[in-house]
Amino acid sequence: MSSVALFAGAAHAEQTIRVGVTAGPHAQVMEEVKKVAARDGLNIKIIEFSDYVQPNAALAGGDLDANSYQHQPYLDAQVKDRGYKLVSVAQTINFPMGIYSKKVKSLAELKAGARVAVPNDPTNGGRAYLLLQKAKLITLRPDAGLKATSLDVVDNPRKLKFVELDAAQIPHALDDVDIAAINTNFALQAGLSPRRDAIAIDPPNGPYTNVLVVREQDRAKPWVATLVKAYHSPEVKAFAEKTFQGAVVTSW
């Protein structure tokens, strides 16, 4: 084989990237990204994973070129705990946490002493307290961070009573509380729609928005910009909005 042919083959290989995703919405959206990226000469090979640990391990080890399945707090924890040289290069989609109720139609109707169900694990619990603060129901200590708890509440004008439960069980407790902070996946399982039923919801580009991740050494490579451009295209946005009907929110 001639050196010209070898060079051509190498150039072509550089335009094929391997992107790790988790099954479900991340994989579905990446299939649409793949179609758009192909127009700019970037071929995406999608590799699905069934857990949250392997996609970062595979990316750090060189078996992937990028992954798309995690939010920034999870990535930060992985980098800190495992020493990965991984960075986010774009926000992607968000599975919003919402506030739901069977007793009030708006937060303005909440009475003093209302019972509020929140997840009892640090990540989802912190997210719930931040959402309650965004809804102006409480004020947290300025340094509470993403793992805020009821102990970080410094102002609670309506004397809300927090009921901490397993995140998966909260939809079943809606009859027993006034409002509840529920993750989208558990809301959908209970027949609730974020777009139709939530009376407050996460911002589309908040701290829990998912991110597109590459190795630090690759962040400035041209294919990364092409991948981000394809992901943030109008076609992908329209696909997500039509397919998920508000259960998945785009960040751009």
Task: Please count the other Cβ atoms lying within 10 Å of the Cβ belonging to residue 204.
Answer: 14
**Per-residue confidence (pLDDT) for residue 123, from 0 to 100:** 87
Task: Please count the other Cβ atoms lying within 10 Å of the Cβ belonging to residue 76.
Answer: 15
Q: Compute φ and ψ for 43, nearest 5 degrees.
A: -95, 125
Write down the pTM of the prediction: 0.84
- Res 11 pLDDT > 70: no
Domains in the chain with CATH codes: 3-95+206-250 (3.40.190.10), 98-201 (3.40.190.10)
Task: Give tens-digit pLDDT for 119-162.
Answer: 999 889 999 999 999 999 999 999 999 999 999 999 999 999 99
* Average pLDDT of the residues of the chain: 93
Gap between the Cα atoms of 37 and 32, Å rounded = 9
When computed from its CA atoms, the radius of gyration of the chain, rounded to whole angstroms, is: 21
Report residue 111 as tokens: 């009475």
**Per-residue confidence (pLDDT) for residue 14, from 0 to 100:** 55
- Please enumerate in sequence order all residues whose Cβ is within 8 A of that of 15, keeping only pairs 6 or more positions apart, or say none: 41, 42, 43, 223
Cβ 48 vs Cβ 68: under 8 Å = no
**Per-residue confidence (pLDDT) for residue 122, from 0 to 100:** 87
